[in-house]
Amino acid sequence: MTPLGLVTSMLALLLALVLLSNPSPAGEWKFKVVNKGTLPAIEFRTREDDEWSSNWISERVEPGDTFDMDFGTDKGDCTVRTQIRFTDGSYFDANVNYCNVSTLYIFDNRLTAD
């Protein structure tokens, strides 16, 4: 093996070790959302820099429905204020620690996660 080949192999090994020793947390905040409430949810918004985001869902989520959510990042604060709005106009908001969420459950007046 040439000296350049040896250096390239060593760099590749070093890069592999770094990547394996530092896995990304929670797969870029991908999780399931389950509507356990009695009303269809029509909005799912998060708050950042004192402003609510646009709606993260494009279709209403009927009671009993499950869908996959992907924020597309794992950057930023883990705890994010989240607002849920329903078809009857009612809504609530709560803090959610997205770094630890695998499933988020929507109820009529609260969110829980595991």
Say if 15 falls within a structural domain.
no
Give the phi and the psi of residue 74 in degrees, each rounded to 5: -125, 20
Encode pLDDT of 92-103 as tens digits.
999 999 998 999
Residue 66: domain span: 27-113
Say if 76 falls within a structural domain.
yes
Domain count, the chain: 1
CATH number at residue 99: 2.60.40.2890
Say if 50 falls within a structural domain.
yes
Residue with tokens 């009612």: 90
Say if 105 falls within a structural domain.
yes
Say if 20 falls within a structural domain.
no
Report the percentage of the chain scoring pLDDT > 70: 76
> pLDDT band at 77, cuts 50/70/90?
very high
Q: Report in angstroms the alpha-carbon separations of 68 from 12, 13, 103.
A: 34, 35, 9
